[in-house]
């Protein structure tokens, strides 16, 4: 897979940006490859950034397809893929206008709770760069703004304390895609985006740069 490499100042990790829209299966295979390389110390810690082509994914927390609304065939008829993933969490949507980050890291200690909170903090810091107050929910993983979820988090831990999967931040996502499912199995709250909260056009590239900067503060 051809990757677009961008240069960022003061990073002690690799940043790999996949150009265009990436099918979910390709992003998943890339993560598997990078996890293997990181286990063997053939690459440094790496942050993969991308936008997926429209896809509904279901994580390991889902017991069945009940959160996929009218079902897989209906969702596919809308032009989206459906993928049962090996990440944590339940059902969600990925697509254009959403910045997805897959950190491939070797953690110093396998503290899963702390790592999830650190990913939330990363997004909260990025939101603060735009003057938005992001926060956590006492019952659910992810990041919230004004009572709606703006970022979903689902991860996987492999042997050697290597992470994969990560976070999905709605920057200027078409939120109607979420109407067809029960996102993350949560019925009582909606989803939002950075653009909706700001009521202004948002540059995905600018958000990416802020994510890289804040990622360096958290994990560099």
Task: Single out the residue of 13, 2, 42 nearest to residue 211, CA to CA.
Answer: 13
For this structure, is 184 an active site residue? yes
d(CA 35, CA 156): 11
d(CA 131, CA 100): 21
Which is it for the CA torsion 182, 97, 130, 47, positive or negative? positive
Determine which helix (DSSP H) or strand (DSSP E) holds 38, and give its type and residue range: helix 24-39
Task: Single out the residue of 166, 26, 11 nearest to residue 101, CA to CA.
Answer: 166
Given the residues 184, 204, 207, 212, the one annotated as active site: 184
Catalytic residues, by residue number, are: 184
């Amino acid at each position: 897979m051809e990757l677009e490499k961008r240069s960022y100042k003061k990073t002690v990790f690799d940043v790999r940006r996949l150009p265009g829209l990436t099918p979910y299966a390709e992003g998943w295979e890339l993560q598997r490859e990078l996890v293997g390389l990181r286990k063997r110390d053939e690459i440094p810690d790496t942050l993969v950034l991308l936008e997926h082509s429209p896809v509904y994914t279901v994580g390991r927390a889902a017991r069945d397809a009940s959160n996929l609304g009218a079902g897989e065939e209906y969702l596919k008829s809308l032009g989206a893929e459906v993928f049962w993933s090996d990440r944590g969490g339940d059902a969600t949507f990925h697509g254009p206008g959403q910045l997805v980050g897959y950190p491939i890291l070797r953690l110093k200690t396998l503290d899963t709770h702390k790592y999830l909170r650190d990913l939330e903090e990363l997004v909260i810091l990025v939101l603060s760069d735009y003057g938005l107050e992001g926060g956590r929910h006492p019952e659910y993983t992810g990041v919230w703004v004004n009572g709606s979820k703006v970022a979903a988090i689902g991860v996987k831990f492999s042997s050697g304390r290597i992470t994969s999967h990560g976070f999905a931040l709605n920057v200027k996502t078409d939120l109607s895609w979420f109407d067809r499912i029960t996102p993350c199995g949560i019925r009582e709250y909606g989803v939002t985006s950075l653009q909706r909260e700001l009521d202004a056009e948002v540059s995905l590239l600018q958000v990416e740069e802020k994510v890289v900067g804040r990622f360096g503060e958290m994990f560099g």
